[in-house]
Amino acid sequence: MTAILQTLDTPDGPFTILEEDGRVLASGWTDDPERILGRLRSDRVPPDVASGRASSAEHVTAYYEGDLHAIDAVPVAQYGTAMQSSGWEALRRIPAGRPLTYSEFAVHLGSPSAVRAAASICARNAAALFVPCHRVLRTGGALGGFAWGLDVKRSLLQREAAE
């Protein structure tokens, strides 16, 4: 099956989605396909990728038009360790407008002392926005890192703060 790559214009800049069989494999704020493909493990990069219309694109548009829950049920396929997979699922349960600290996220994972592992789960998240790792902050509320830049993270959090 051919994977689909689509770039949308958003208020935070170009947003590219890599989707296969109706599931988001990777996404982020760039118009560089190689940067999106680079978010995947090399053995998970689809052999055939073509430009097209991603089924999740309408959900991104709805999110930016104010429906912050539009991204919640979009199917995502990420491959990692059991802890990473459970962490990515946990990220999807963080409500818009209610960010957690890395320490709080570690507690949600059932491992309060695993703060570095919690941060690593966020860093290895390939499906940005759909798996909202931007909703995890440093202790004290500092933004911390974000693969797509702190300006994008700040903008997303401000958009969701009204929720």
- For 22: left if phi > 0, alpha if psi spans -120 to 50, otherwise beta; the answer is left
pLDDT digits (tens, 9 = 90+) for 1-49: 799 999 999 999 999 999 999 999 999 999 999 999 999 999 999 999 9
Residue 118 lies in a domain: yes
Q: Are residues 55 and 100 in the same domain?
A: no
Predicted local confidence at residue 142, as pLDDT? 86
Predicted local confidence at residue 163, as pLDDT? 64
Dist CA 62 CA 143 (whole Å): 25
pLDDT band at 162 (very low <50, low <70, confident <90, very high): confident
Predicted local confidence at residue 77, as pLDDT? 96
pLDDT digits (tens, 9 = 90+) for 102-121: 999 999 888 888 889 999 99
Residue 101 lies in a domain: yes
Whether 72 and 62 have beta carbons less than 8 Å apart is answered as no
Predicted local confidence at residue 140, as pLDDT? 82
SS3 51: strand
Residue 94 lies in a domain: yes
Q: The whole model's pTM is what?
A: 0.94
Q: Are residues 122 and 52 in the same domain?
A: no
Whether 99 and 137 have beta carbons less than 8 Å apart is answered as yes
Tell me which residue range forms the domain holding 37.
Answer: 3-64
Residue 69 lies in a domain: no
Q: Are residues 104 and 154 in the same domain?
A: yes
133 vs 112: which has the higher pLDDT: 133
Number of domains in the chain: 2
Residue 147 lies in a domain: yes
Q: Are residues 58 and 89 in the same domain?
A: no
Dist CA 72 CA 24 (whole Å): 12
Dist CA 87 CA 118 (whole Å): 7
Predicted local confidence at residue 34, as pLDDT? 96
Dist CA 112 CA 83 (whole Å): 13
Residues annotated catalytic, as ranges: 133
Dist CA 48 CA 132 (whole Å): 27
Whether 29 and 148 have beta carbons less than 8 Å apart is answered as yes
pLDDT digits (tens, 9 = 90+) for 43-94: 999 999 999 999 999 999 999 999 999 999 999 999 999 999 999 999 999 9
Q: What is the CATH number of the domain that holds 59?
A: 3.30.160
Predicted local confidence at residue 144, as pLDDT? 85
Q: What is the CATH number of the domain that holds 114?
A: 1.10.10.10
